Every structure is written in structure tokens, then in C-alpha cells.
């Protein structure tokens, strides 16, 4: 095992009761969790099957599991649960399907699928106003689920017509999910919690299964996740949670940093261990981070420190406008890379909102700087691509109820939510998938003549296309499927602007071209044309694209401050550090900038060696140019540790000349290699 500092070792050794490890940025919390798991197995003699560790991302869970397996022989780790909260919830639901009234093969709707179902329930289209209404209802229902509020409770407490409508929709939405043997992402936590409340015998079974629980990033838990943890650990209270209230930046998606403080109330014998030694950044960077975050109220006080030396001053650069800002950042990165013999991937540019990246991308392209934008939308996550992929999935697998639900009314076929709910109930009664029962003769009586006729027509049409899927005409079947339903025309009429409609049509063309290339390649390799195999490959490509954040190629990293959490880079640039961007205008108007300050803290603590902040003195907003002010957070940093440069700052001509000479020398050295 790697060597731990005294505080880390204390956290590993403490197993007699509830423990909160208050882990500052870069303080080695993953080492504590993984070595504690190893210690529980090897030194405390606890079977791995009785230990569970949960975190928030698949990547973090994978890394944690890999590190445990380097400390513990694989056979000793058999049965160990290391997963996300949602995967743990899914494990519980799959085991207790009958108790939660789910059937084998139940579907899990992602956010996009859920939005489509909500759109059907609300009879909304694709206009901007309709999209906003659907997103409001979806967000409100998700919030209720995260706060453990049932549809009945939501309706009884609704104090406006809009909330009453949302609560009624919440009930209809849940009924639709159950009828279709489906759950959404929030249900993966909510349903186990409700099950444990209602059936103590099942809860006791899981308490016996999980006898020690470790939770990472505890400050990001919502009310439902907190309750799940509490249910599983009581009454023995054998758990370790690791968190940092200063890095809680996800309140907008339900996270409650107050859950850390709630632990002390719910578990009076809670032991708190602080990890304050940072293994990432220079002393000056940590001093600035401590100074900024000290302006937030704290239940737990802590102060980061490091053995890595004091380091360079933090540069704060004032530029004329956003054009000058992005040009300076690109130029400075090129200069540093040349003069310091660095790699492109040593640099990261962080920003508050995705819109800030566009101009910098153009500068990087002009200056031939390789870059990667993290957190962008996957090609397969686009609505039009998900629609067509569901059509293709249904072509090769008629039992895919999730795919059926997404596309049955896309484009519109006048098949509403009430019809689908009755169809779902009928499919349960018949013990077949929803697609299979669309042409049942007895369906007229259950649904009514018109609705049943529309479903029969849909199934007959898709059955006809299926005949070609396993022949040499499979590509033609895909093209005819798209043209028969005039999908491209429907995209254009539904789009909020002609340009967006054209872009969606281009994406459809790109998908068809990809299928054609893959079919041709398949034919060259084994003289066959198997659409089912191609679709499976496309799904795999989607999964790989979603994992692209692990790409290790040599490119400058561009990402939002939210996406940067948990990452670190030698040289960090924070752009747009000004009022109404960071802190965001909404937080200023609502007088709630504590989370924005935590976002600033997260940004600062991503930097290992150097940190540069930039801001524009004027910025174009909503078609007009306005003067801007430097962020209040910069004023909270120690002035002695900042090197102010740029517009309005006294320029040291000798420094400018030296920079130019260093760059020229570096270029000459490269040419002479």
C-alpha cells in the first residue's frame, strides 16, 4: 500500500462508527477510500461481498475498482460493490422487481426519452415555447422525485395553477412509466427508498448484504440519495462518507451540501477527520483558493496547504474585449509551449458557460492549436439521431418497448398517451411486447376503432420494411423508412429556425452515410450485409463516444468549470472572470453567490503549477456592446500574490521584450533540430 499521511491513516483505521472525511481539493480522498476497502478486507477480515462503495460517475467507480484490485487479490475482492448511486439502485430494483411491480427486461428512460414522453403527455410540439414548458415540467418532477415528494404530496402542496398542472402531470407520467414497464433515471434511487420504507423485511435483507458503506463526493447527494444511505447504514452506522462542502457546485441538479451538516444531527457520534494537505498545487494557488472560499459561511472550517513550493504569481489579464481575450489566451499558450517545451495537453481553459468557447475555438483553429472541447453533445444524443436509432432498433428487435415508445408518435400519428397506456396494459395482459400486439384483432374493443387502426397501419408499414433488413436491400429499407414518413420534412417544420432544421437533416444524412459505409465494409470482409450487426456496432460507437473524455491525445483541454471538477492540469486559464459571468448574473440578482464562489474555488484548485485569469473590459451581449467589471472574487484574492497585466496596467517594456526574445529563440531552436 502507498504511504498515507497521519490524517489519511486515521481515516482508514476508523471503523467503529460513522465517519465523515472532510477532504479538501487534491487531498488524496480516493486513496483513503480504496485503502480503507483493502484494510476492511485484509486486516479486519470483512468479506468483500458485505462492502459497498458508491460515487457519482462510471469513470470514478471504474477507477476506484481498479485501484482496489491493485491492493487486494481478485479472489479476495469477489462480491465487492463499487458503483454509482444509480447502478446500486438498479441492482436493488433488478433483485426486487416483483416487489416494485416491474417485469423482467424493464426499460430505463434517459433524460431525452423522458422528455419525449413528457411532450406526449402535455401534447406539446417543437416550438421554443413548447420546449420550455416541457423542460419546466420535467425539471419540476425530477426535483420532486429527488426530494422524495410523491404525486399526491406534490398536488396537496401546490400553491399555483402551474404547480397543480405539474403535479397532475407527475401522476400521469408515473402511471405511463409503470404501464410501459419503464423507469426513469430518478426512479433508480426513489423506488428503492420507497420500497425500503414500505417493506422492512426487504430493507433488512439489504442491510445484511451491505454491512459497511463508503460514499464518495457526499456533498453532491440529493435528499433521496441521503435517505438511501441512511436506510442502509442504520442501526449499526458503519459507514464512511467523503466530501467537501467547498466543492458543492451542483445545487441546480438537486445536490444539497447541507447533507454534510445533517450527518451531525442524524448521527451524534459522528467522527470528523479533515484532509487539508494538498498533493496537487503550489502554495500560492492554495493561498488564493483559501482566501476566496473563506468568504463563504462554513459548518466545517479547513485550510489547504502544500509541500510543493510557493510557485509563480497568479496572472490576472485585462483585455480590451472578448476578441482580444481569446487571441491573447491562444497566443500565450503557444508562447509557453514553445519556450517551456510543454505539451498541448498540459494546458486547460475553463469558462463559466459553453457559449464562451466558440470564439476561442475559432482562434485555436486559425492558429492551428489542437484542442478538445469536453462536455459537448454526443452525435448520438441528438434528438433526430436518437429517433432514427430507435426505429432501427425496433426493426431488428421488435421486443424493444423503449424504442417503440419513443418513435410511435414521431412524426405525429395521432396516437396519444391514453392510447399508449391502454396498449401497454394490453401487452402485459397478452405477455408480449407492445409492438407485437399492435395488430391484435381484439384491440379495437380495448382502444377504439380509430386508435387500433392507426397502430395496425404503423405495424404493417414497419413489418414491410423489416422484410428487407436481412437481405441485400437493407440500406434501401433504411432510406425508404426515412422518406416514407417524410422524416426530414417533419424535422424542418418542427425546428425553431430553418438553419437548425437544415442541420438536423444533415445529421440524418450523416447517419445514413455511416450505415452505408459499415454495410459496404461488412460486405467486403465476409460477403454479407447484416443491418442488425451494423446497428449493434453503432450503439457501441455511441458508448465509446460518451467515454471520449478519457482520450489522452495531445490537445489543449477546453471545458466548463462544472465539468472540470475532479480534474487537474499543470497550466490553467480561467476566462471571463468578471461580474455577471462569474458570479453569474442570476446569482447576483437573487443574492445567492455562495455556489458561484465555490465554482471559483473549484477553478483555482484545478491548477497545479500556474494559474491565469482573464477578463474583457467590454463584451457584446444581446447585440450591443457593454462595459464589464472584473469579478469580485479576484478582489478576494491576496493582492500580493497577483500579477495584474493588460489594459490599464503599467506595462514593463523590458518584460515584453524578453517574452518576444524567448519566443524567437524557441522557434529558432525548433528549426535547428
Q: How far is residue 355's CA from residue 371's CA, in Å, rounded to a whole number?
A: 16
Catalytic residue among 9, 10, 15, 30: 30
DSSP-derived 3-state class of residue 82: strand
What is the DSSP code (8-state) at residue 126? Answer: S
What is the DSSP code (8-state) at residue 307? Answer: S
Query: How would DSSP label each residue in 301-341?
Result: ----B-SS---PPEEEEEESSHHHHHHHHHHHHHHHHHHHT
524 given a catalytic annotation: no
Largest CA distance in the chain: 89
Q: How far is residue 367's CA from residue 389's CA, in Å, rounded to a whole number?
A: 37
Catalytic residue among 35, 84, 138, 247: 247
Residue 321: strand pairing partners = none
Task: Kindly report the number of other CB atoms within 10 A of residue 234's CB atom.
Answer: 13
Q: Are 257 and 287 in contact (CB under 8 A)?
A: no
Catalytic residue among 7, 8, 29, 387: 29
Catalytic residue among 187, 217, 245, 578: 217
606 given a catalytic annotation: yes
30 given a catalytic annotation: yes
End-to-end CA distance of the chain: 43
Residues 255, 261, 267, 270, CA torsion sign: positive
Q: How far is residue 641's CA from residue 314's CA, in Å, rounded to a whole number?
A: 6
Query: How would DSSP label each residue in 494-548?
Result: HSSSHHHHHHHHHHHHHHHHHHHHHHHHHHHHHS---HHHHHHHHHHHHHHHHTG
Q: How far is residue 328's CA from residue 554's CA, in Å, rounded to a whole number?
A: 21
Q: Where are the beta strands (DSSP E) in 61-158?
A: 81-84, 107-109
Give 613-644 as a 3 state SS string: EEEECEEEECCEEEECCECHHHHCCCHHHEEE
What is the DSSP code (8-state) at residue 432? Answer: S
Query: What phi and psi, each to the nearest 5 degrees, are found at residue 625?
Result: -90, 130
Q: How far is residue 183's CA from residue 177's CA, in Å, rounded to a whole number?
A: 6
C-alpha distances in angstroms, 644 versus 335, 543, 580, 629, 634?
A: 19, 44, 21, 15, 11
- Reading the block at residue 85, the C-alpha cell is 448511486
Dihedral Cα 523, 528, 531, 532, nearest 10 deg? -130
Q: How far is residue 557's CA from residue 568's CA, in Å, rounded to a whole number?
A: 11
Which residue in 477, 485, 461 sits closest to 519, CA to CA? 477
What is the DSSP code (8-state) at residue 247? Answer: G
Residue 613: strand pairing partners = 316, 574
Which residue in 153, 144, 151 sits closest to 173, CA to CA? 151
Query: What phi and psi, each to the nearest 5 degrees, are found at residue 528?
Result: -135, 165
Catalytic residue among 406, 606, 619, 632: 606
- Reading the block at residue 647, the C-alpha cell is 489594459
DSSP-derived 3-state class of residue 264: helix
- Reading the block at residue 639, the C-alpha cell is 493582492
Catalytic residue among 216, 327, 384, 400: 216
216 given a catalytic annotation: yes
Task: Kindly report the number of other CB atoms within 10 A of residue 548's CB atom.
Answer: 11
Which residue in 546, 520, 534 sits closest to 470, CA to CA? 534
217 given a catalytic annotation: yes
419 given a catalytic annotation: no
Residue 109: strand pairing partners = 184
Question: Exposed, middle or buried by CB within 10 Å (0-12, 13-18, 19+), for 410?
Answer: buried
Task: Kindly report the number of other CB atoms within 10 A of residue 428's CB atom.
Answer: 16
Q: What are the residue numbers of the active site?
A: 29-30, 216-217, 247, 606
Amino acid at each position: 500500500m502507498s504511504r498515507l499521511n497521519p490524517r489519511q491513516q486515521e481515516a482508514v483505521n476508523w471503523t467503529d462508527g460513522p465517519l465523515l472525511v472532510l477532504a479538501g481539493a487534491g487531498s488524496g480522498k480516493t486513496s483513503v477510500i480504496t485503502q480503507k476497502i483493502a484494510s476492511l478486507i485484509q486486516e479486519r477480515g470483512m468479506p468483500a461481498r458485505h462492502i459497498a462503495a458508491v460515487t457519482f460517475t462510471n469513470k470514478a467507480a471504474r477507477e476506484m475498482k481498479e485501484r482496489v484490485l491493485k491492493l487486494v487479490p481478485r479472489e479476495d475482492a469477489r462480491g465487492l460493490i463499487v458503483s454509482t448511486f444509480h447502478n446500486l439502485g438498479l441492482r436493488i430494483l433488478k433483485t426486487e422487481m416483483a416487489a416494485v411491480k416491474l417485469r423482467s427486461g424493464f426499460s430505463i428512460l434517459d433524460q431525452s426519452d423522458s422528455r419525449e414522453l413528457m411532450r406526449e403527455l402535455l401534447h406539446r410540439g417543437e416550438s421554443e415555447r413548447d420546449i420550455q414548458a416541457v423542460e419546466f415540467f420535467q425539471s419540476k418532477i425530477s426535483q420532486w422525485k429527488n426530494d422524495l415528494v410523491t404525486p399526491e404530496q406534490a398536488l396537496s402542496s401546490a400553491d399555483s395553477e402551474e404547480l397543480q398542472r405539474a403535479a397532475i402531470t407527475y401522476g400521469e407520467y408515473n402511471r405511463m412509466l409503470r404501464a410501459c414497464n419503464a423507469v426513469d433515471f430518478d426512479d433508480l434511487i426513489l423506488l428503492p427508498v420507497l420500497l425500503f420504507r414500505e417493506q422492512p423485511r426487504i430493507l433488512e435483507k439489504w442491510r445484511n448484504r451491505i454491512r459497511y458503506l463508503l460514499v464518495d463526493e457526499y456533498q453532491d447527494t440529493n435528499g433521496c440519495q441521503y435517505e438511501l444511505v441512511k436506510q442502509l447504514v442504520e442501526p449499526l452506522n458503519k459507514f464512511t462518507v467523503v466530501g467537501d462542502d467547498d466543492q458543492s457546485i451542483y445545487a441546480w441538479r438537486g445536490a444539497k451540501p447541507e447533507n454534510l451538516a445533517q450527518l451531525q444531527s442524524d448521527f451524534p457520534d459522528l467522527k470528523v477527520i479533515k484532509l487539508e494537505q494538498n498533493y496537487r498545487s503550489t502554495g500560492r494557488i492554495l493561498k488564493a483558493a483559501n482566501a476566496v472560499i473563506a468568504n463563504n459561511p462554513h459548518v466545517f472550517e479547513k485550510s489547504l496547504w502544500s509541500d510543493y513550493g510557493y510557485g509563480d504569481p497568479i496572472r490576472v489579464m485585462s483585455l480590451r474585449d472578448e476578441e482580444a481575450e481569446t487571441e491573447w489566451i491562444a497566443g500565450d499558450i503557444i508562447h509557453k509551449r514553445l519556450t517551456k517545451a510543454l505539451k498541448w495537453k498540459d494546458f486547460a481553459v475553463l469558462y463559466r458557460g459553453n457559449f464562451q468557447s466558440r470564439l476561442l475555438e475559432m482562434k485555436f483553429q486559425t492558429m492551428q492549436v489542437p484542442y478538445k472541447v469536453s462536455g459537448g453533445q454526443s452525435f448520438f444524443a441528438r434528438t433526430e439521431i436518437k429517433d432514427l436509432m430507435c426505429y432501427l432498433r425496433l426493426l431488428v428487435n421488435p421486443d424493444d418497448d423503449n424504442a417503440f415508445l419513443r418513435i410511435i408518435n414521431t412524426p405525429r400519428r395521432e396516437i396519444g398517451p391514453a392510447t399508449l397506456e391502454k396498449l401497454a396494459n394490453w401487452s402485459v395482459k397478452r405477455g408480449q411486447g407492445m409492438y407485437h400486439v399492435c395488430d391484435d384483432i381484439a384491440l379495437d374493443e380495448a382502444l377504439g376503432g380509430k386508435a387500433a387502426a392507426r397502430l395496425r397501419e404503423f405495424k404493417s408499414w414497419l413489418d414491410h420494411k423489416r422484410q428487407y433488413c436481412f437481405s441485400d436491400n437493407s440500406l434501401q429499407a433504411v432510406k425508404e423508412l426515412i422518406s416514407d414518413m417524410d422524416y426530414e420534412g417533419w424535422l424542418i417544420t418542427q425546428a425553431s429556425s430553418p438553419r437548425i432544421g437544415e442541420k438536423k437533416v444533415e445529421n440524418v444524412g450523416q447517419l445514413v452515410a455511416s450505415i452505408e459505409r459499415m454495410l459496404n465494409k461488412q460486405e467486403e470482409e465476409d460477403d454479407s450485409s447484416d443491418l442488425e450487426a451494423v446497428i449493434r456496432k453503432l450503439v457501441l460507437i455511441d458508448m465509446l463516444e460518451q467515454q471520449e473524455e478519457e482520450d489522452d491525445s495531445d490537445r489543449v483541454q477546453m471545458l466548463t468549470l462544472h465539468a472540470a471538477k475532479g480534474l487537474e492540469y499543470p497550466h490553467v486559464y480561467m476566462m471571463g472572470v468578471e461580474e455577471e459571468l462569474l458570479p453569474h448574473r442570476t446569482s447576483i440578482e437573487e443574492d445567492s453567490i455562495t455556489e458561484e464562489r465555490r465554482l471559483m474555488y473549484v477553478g483555482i484548485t484545478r491548477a497545479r503549477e500556474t494559474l491565469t485569469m482573464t477578463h474583457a473590459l467590454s463584451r457584446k451581449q444581446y447585440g450591443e456592446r457593454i462595459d464589464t467589471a472584473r469579478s469580485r472574487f479576484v478582489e478576494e484574492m491576496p493582492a500580493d500574490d497577483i500579477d495584474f497585466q493588460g489594459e490599464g496596467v503599467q506595462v514593463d517594456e523590458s518584460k515584453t521584450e524578453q517574452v518576444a526574445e524567448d519566443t524567437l529563440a524557441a522557434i529558432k531552436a525548433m528549426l535547428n533540430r
